[in-house]
């Protein structure tokens, strides 16, 4: 049996490594080789973070300890994550987070990942879960207006600067997650803190800068006046916030 376990460990170090410890001020990522993972004990030290990949959909933990300001950070995914813990001890400031990713100019914001969390026994000053949606992408910046042409001594009129174009509107924020908690009946409701707000809308794109009018020019006979500058483009509108998620608490 020991030889079989050793062989499995050589192929996949996680096969026999069911006790996992994340050191202080460090980041560790669970393997993405399987969608279901089981740990006998998970210890995330103070200010450390354990990252759960997007393909993991079931995580079972026998004993869980989160130190001060420790995090279990869950990567966004369309598939929900079910996490069950037999016994948990969570220090002050610790948190489970499944926030959605913010939007970019090429990708829309992603919603918070849906969670189903079960704690058979829980000792924590606060059970904190952050499952907000991602912030919307900002609007595009308007194009700057072209500068006016300088006057010539034969025609004597400088060109006017072109107007800047308008900025575009920010993109919508993503929705908050659906979070289901299964907790012991004696865990105080006032110590449950779950945030499922929709992501803020993207910032408005600023308008383009006005083009500068052609500069005045002194000629032999007269002075040619400079041209007027253009008008700045108008800023877009901020994007709308995403829809809020829901929180369900079941006691047993």
Residue 4 covered by a domain: no
Please tell me the distance from the alpha carbon of residue 250 to that of residue 234, in angstroms, as a whole number. Answer: 50
Residue 23 covered by a domain: yes
Beta bridge partners of 58: 36, 82
**Confidence band for 80, pLDDT divided at 50, 70 and 90:** very high
Residue 130 covered by a domain: yes
Residue 161 covered by a domain: no
Domain that holds residue 24: 16-138+173-204+241-251
Please tell me the distance from the alpha carbon of residue 211 to that of residue 4, in angstroms, as a whole number. Answer: 74
Least confident of 9-18, 95-104, 185-194, 239-248: 9-18
pLDDT tens column, 85-97:
999 999 999 999 9
Please tell me the distance from the alpha carbon of residue 99 to that of residue 32, in angstroms, as a whole number. Answer: 19
Q: What is the pTM of this model?
A: 0.81
Please tell me the distance from the alpha carbon of residue 54 to that of residue 76, in angstroms, as a whole number. Answer: 6
Residue 146 covered by a domain: no
Please tell me the distance from the alpha carbon of residue 252 to that of residue 242, in angstroms, as a whole number. Answer: 33
Residue 155 covered by a domain: no
Residue 3 covered by a domain: no
Residue 4 has pLDDT above 50, yes or no: no
In the chain, the number of structural domains is 1
Residue 62 covered by a domain: yes
């Amino acid at each position: 049996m020991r030889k079989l376990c050793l062989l499995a460990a050589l192929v996949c170090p996680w096969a026999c490594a069911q006790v996992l410890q994340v050191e202080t001020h460090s980041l560790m990522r669970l393997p993405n080789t399987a969608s279901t993972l089981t740990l006998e004990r998970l210890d995330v030290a103070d200010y450390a973070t354990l990252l759960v990949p997007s393909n993991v959909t079931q995580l079972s933990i026998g004993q869980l300890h989160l130190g001060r300001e420790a995090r279990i950070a869950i990567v966004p995914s369309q598939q929900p994550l079910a996490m069950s813990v037999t016994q948990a001890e969570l220090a002050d400031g610790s948190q489970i987070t499944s926030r959605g990713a913010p939007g970019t100019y090429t990708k829309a914001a992603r919603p918070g990942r849906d969670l189903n969390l079960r704690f058979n026994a829980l000792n924590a000053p606060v059970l904190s879960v952050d499952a907000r949606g991602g912030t919307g992408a900002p609007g595009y910046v308007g194009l700057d207006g072209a500068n006016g042409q300088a006057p010539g001594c034969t025609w004597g009129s400088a060109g006017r600067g072109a107007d800047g174009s308008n900025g575009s509107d920010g993109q919508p924020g993503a929705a908050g997650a659906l979070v289901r908690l299964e907790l012991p009946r004696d865990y105080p409701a006032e110590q449950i803190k779950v945030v499922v707000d929709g992501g803020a809308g993207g910032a408005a794109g600023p308008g383009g800068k006005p083009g500068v009018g052609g500069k005045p020019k002194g000629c032999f006979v007269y002075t040619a006046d400079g041209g007027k500058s253009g008008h700045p483009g108008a800023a877009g509108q901020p994007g709308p916030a995403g829809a809020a998620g829901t929180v369900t608490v079941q006691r047993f």
